[in-house]
């Protein structure tokens, strides 16, 4: 079993990032002919659709929220991506906390009285 992580990325860009991470991980296997890029990309597209449906359609998470996706996977005998586990961390902007933290730092820097 292998693991891939997107790292922190905006929800609006997670699908592209996830595809890039998978393609980078399989670059050598594509070149050697061990894996077919179109098959893997089709599998990643299906994964992205399911993630989108949950995050955007069901939970209505704003597209500017930050997500961090970790996928544990294997390649099946049929050369398709097999997802064993997935973890999605969602970090949404907290307006009140952001405002208070900014104000406090400005006070400590002497930028506000």
Q: Does the pLDDT value for residue 113 go beyond 70?
A: no
What mean pLDDT is reported for the chain?
94
| Dihedral in degrees, nearest 10, Cα atoms 22, 27, 30, 32 | -150
Q: Which of 89, 95, 96 is nearest to 11 (CA)?
A: 89
**Is-contact 30 48, C-beta < 8 A?**
no
Residue 101 to residue 78: CA distance in whole angstroms: 52
Specify which residues 39 forms β-bridges with: none
Say what the pLDDT of residue 92 is.
82
DSSP H helical ranges for the chain? 14-25, 27-32, 37-52, 95-108
pLDDT per position as a tens digit, 39-83? 999 999 999 999 999 999 999 999 999 999 999 999 999 999 999
Say what the pTM is.
0.85
């Amino acid at each position: 079993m292998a693991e891939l992580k997107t790292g922190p990325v905006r929800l609006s860009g997670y699908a592209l990032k996830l595809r890039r991470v998978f393609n980078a991980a399989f670059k050598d296997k594509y070149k050697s002919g061990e894996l077919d890029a179109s098959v893997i990309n089709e599998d990643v597209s299906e994964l992205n659709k399911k993630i989108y449906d949950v995050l955007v359609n069901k939970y209505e998470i704003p597209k500017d929220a930050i997500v961090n996706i970790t996928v544990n996977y294997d390649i099946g005998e049929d050369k398709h991506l097999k997802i064993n586990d997935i973890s999605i961390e969602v970090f949404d902007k907290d307006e009140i906390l952001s405002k208070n933290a900014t104000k406090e730092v400005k006070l400590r820097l002497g930028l506000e009285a």
